């Protein structure tokens, strides 16, 4: 079978999923339909916002379904009518068996980690938060338990100590599209050799990648310098690590998002969370084994600023606190 004859249904929602869909379309593969999340109101005006995948699908005039429930009979019947040979899932939802088991060649997923490590919703964030020096992408066939199916292919990607989650996300996004095309070609050519995740060699313990909530992003200043530094870059630029800032003895606390920091190893006798600043150019926060120097941050209702820009218009006293 030629790639133009292989009927592919694609499922995805965020930016990460658009690149793979774009590479399939531009590569001449036969995408017969796209499934994405229902439209959601967003922002202050609660305007209806299309997902990035929907926007791309509309631009390319690709047939589109946006089911509320994936077991809904009307949706399942509409999906069946597309007569897919193969389904590809990138950053979507957990599929019921009636959906993933439908195509004759199966359904495979692109996951942004080196499975079996980092099964779950936020693999890129957790790899950076945990200070890993390597991550990767995996294609695997879907089965009942989430992120546990037989692995088809993997690609390793280094994580530099200065990379934040955005940098790693973009590296994986570009490579992910390429890996999906290679996986489709291998399925077409009958050269796929899968491996069970239970048989794969894993160094160290298996780490999960659970969904990240607001409270997950709160900085604990009692952690070591490196741990907090990795935590900040693992959540930057989105959803962003945060802390409560008390700018002076009389001031009320405000929530401040922190996007960039530097490690400063220096002995001191200050309590964790104490701020050291000249009120003009720098601001560093005491932690048990040194300081975390804050390089860019954001106050409520304001735009993100470099620390020296913020200090020009915001009075911060030496010795105030982050908590």
- pLDDT for 147-157, tens place per residue? 889 999 999 99
122: pLDDT strictly greater than 90 = yes
What is the structure's pLDDT at 203? 77
Q: Give the model confidence (pLDDT) of 186-240 as tens digits.
A: 999 999 999 999 999 887 899 999 999 999 999 999 999 999 999 999 999 999 9
Categorize the per-residue pLDDT at 52 as very low, low, confident or very high, splitting at 50, 70 and 90: very high
Categorize the per-residue pLDDT at 318 as very low, low, confident or very high, splitting at 50, 70 and 90: confident
168: pLDDT strictly greater than 80 = yes
For residues 291-309, average pLDDT: 97
268: pLDDT strictly greater than 90 = yes
What is the structure's pLDDT at 230? 98
Strand-pairing partners, residue 285, are 275, 292
* Cβ contact 218:228 at 8 Å: no
Find the helix packing angle between 52-59 and 15-26, rounded to 10°.
Answer: 20
145: pLDDT strictly greater than 90 = no
* Cβ contact 303:314 at 8 Å: no
46: pLDDT strictly greater than 90 = no
pTM above 0.75, yes or no: yes
Looking only at the bridges linking them, the beta strands covering 86-90 and 40-42 are: unpaired
Which residues are annotated as part of the binding site for (6S)-5,6,7,8-tetrahydrofolate?
113-116
Tokens matching residue 130: 């945990």
What is the structure's pLDDT at 248? 77
Which residues are annotated as part of the binding site?
113-116
Tokens matching residue 207: 């780490």
The full set of domains in the chain, from first to last, is 7-199 (3.40.50.170), 214-322 (3.10.25.10)
Nearest 5°: CA angle at 160, between 156 and 165? Answer: 85
70: pLDDT strictly greater than 80 = yes
For residues 33-51, average pLDDT: 86
Tokens 């291998």: give the residue.
186
Strand-pairing partners, residue 298, are 257
In sequence order, the 6+-apart residues with CB closer than 8 A to the CB of 223 are: 231, 287, 288
Q: Which of 22-26, 35-39, 141-145, 264-268 has the lowest mean pLDDT?
A: 141-145
What is the structure's pLDDT at 6? 97
């Amino acid at each position: 079978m030629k790639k133009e004859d292989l009927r592919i249904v694609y499922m995805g929602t965020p930016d990460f999923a658009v690149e793979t869909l774009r590479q399939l379309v531009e590569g001449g593969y036969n995408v017969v339909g796209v499934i994405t999340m229902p439209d959601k109101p967003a922002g202050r005006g609660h305007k209806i916002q299309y997902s990035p995948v929907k926007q791309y699908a509309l631009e390319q005039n690709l047939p589109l379904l946006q089911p509320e429930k994936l077991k809904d009979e009307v949706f399942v019947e509409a999906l069946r009518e597309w007569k897919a040979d193969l389904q590809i899932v990138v950053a979507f939802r957990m599929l019921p068996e009636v959906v993933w088991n439908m195509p004759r060649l199966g359904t495979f997923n692109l996951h942004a980690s080196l499975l079996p490590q980092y099964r779950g919703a936020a693999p890129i964030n957790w790899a950076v938060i945990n200070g890993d020096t390597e991550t990767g992408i995996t294609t695997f066939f879907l089965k009942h338990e989430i992120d546990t199916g037989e692995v088809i292919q993997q690609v390793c990607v280094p994580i530099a100590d200065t990379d934040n989650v955005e940098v790693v996300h973009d590296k994986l996004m570009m490579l992910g599209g390429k890996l999906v095309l290679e996986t489709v070609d291998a399925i077409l050519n009958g050269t796929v050799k899968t491996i069970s995740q239970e048989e794969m060699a894993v160094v160290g313990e298996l780490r999960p990648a659970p969904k990240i909530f607001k409270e997950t992003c709160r900085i604990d200043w009692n952690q070591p310098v490196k741990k907090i530094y990795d935590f900040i870059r693992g959540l930057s630029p989105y959803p962003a690590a945060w802390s409560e800032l008390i700018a002076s003895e009389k001031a009320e606390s405000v929530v401040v998002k922190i996007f960039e920091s530097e490690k400063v190893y220096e002995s001191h006798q200050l309590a964790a969370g104490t701020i050291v600043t000249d009120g003009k150019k720098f601001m560093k926060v005491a932690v048990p084994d040194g300081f975390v120097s804050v390089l860019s941050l954001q106050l409520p209702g304001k735009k993100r600023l470099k620390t020296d820009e913020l200090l020009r218009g915001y009075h911060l006293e030496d010795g105030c606190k982050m908590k």
